[in-house]
Amino acid sequence: MKRTFCGFLAEEAGRPAVWTTSLRSEMLPEGEVTVRVRYSALNYKDALALTARGRVLRRFPIIPGVELAGEVLASDDARFRPGDAVFAFGRGVGDQRSGGFARYARLPAAAVERVPEGVALTEVVGAGAAAYTAVLCLMALEGHGIVPERGPVVVTGACGGVGGYAVALLADAGYRVEAVTGRREEAAYLQRLGAAAIVDRAELADSAKPLASERWAGGVDTVGGRVLASVLARVRYGGSVAACGNAGGADLPVTVFPFILRAVNLLGIDAVHCLEDRARQALRRLFDTLPRSAIEAMCRIEPLEQAPRIAEAMLAGKVRGRVV
């Protein structure tokens, strides 16, 4: 490891992270595995951290970046050897302890996973936390009996990372997927991922009805707020919605009617602190079933130094898919 290296550093709350070439190894936290980071990805939480728009960082100073992939440089854990291809996301990486927006990272062994044979580092990070969250959503719907035969499903925020992968995974599993977006110009892109129909976000965002005509057997919501409330009002009797985001707001202006008159289930998805057995099941399924074509369609690679500029665009709703 070099004595100094480059990366982003957030030094205190309320101030954006800054690019620096003078990070030092002693600034990395304790951990059993030291990784030479090759790729990271920009998530919504990272965008908030880089721009200091949200209180997502738990300690300072800290290197942001909630996911990473690279090679092991050194390990005090017998499961990992120098040169092993590994990845990490969740478990406090990038918000509770320094993460992937630097040349090097030091992590607890429990947060590190080996890259499956035949999978490239760019594919691992390109899928990453977004695809993992989408898999958890799919598993939750299946666990509540939402199968393709029940009828169409809806995905909100479909042009985002989690939403795009949810579209691809659900379509690949045989569901008829209706994708919600505020960008009609992205219809062809969403259809390439597997969407059978495009729903204008305004149709849901402007609705205030506590109940509307039954439309979907289930859904994946990445937005929250009024959009989620409108989806719940349109879910068929006994249907379920997996909720995993709040880009559209943390409030949920919904009545009890969908729950007590239609027995609708609202399923909360926590991708950060998911129980270990379920997390491993989701990771296996991710790499076994996620169409490589979806990763290719959704991802683009940019220099790490450009992350603040892209973060601003992401917060403005102008980024499609995943940025590695």
Angstrom distance (rounded) from CA 188 to CA 198:
10
Record: fold of 4-115: Quinone Oxidoreductase; Chain A, domain 1 (3.90.180)
pLDDT tens track of the chain, all 324 residues? 888 999 999 999 999 999 999 999 999 999 999 999 999 999 999 999 999 998 899 899 999 999 999 999 999 999 999 999 999 998 899 999 999 999 999 999 999 999 999 999 999 999 999 999 999 999 999 999 999 999 999 999 999 999 999 999 999 999 999 999 999 999 999 999 999 999 999 988 766 789 999 999 999 999 999 999 999 999 999 999 999 999 888 899 999 999 999 999 999 999 988 888 999 999 999 999 999 999 999 999 999 999 999 999 999 989 999 999
| Residue ranges per structural domain of the chain | 4-115, 128-268
Pairing of strands 85-89, 113-114: antiparallel
- The per-residue pLDDT for 55 is 86
Q: Determine the CATH number of domain 128-268.
A: 3.40.50.720
Instruction: Specify burial of residue 44 (Cβ count, 10 A radius: 0-12, 13-18, 19+).
Output: buried
Angstrom distance (rounded) from CA 132 to CA 269:
11
Angstrom distance (rounded) from CA 258 to CA 262:
5
Its pTM stands at: 0.94
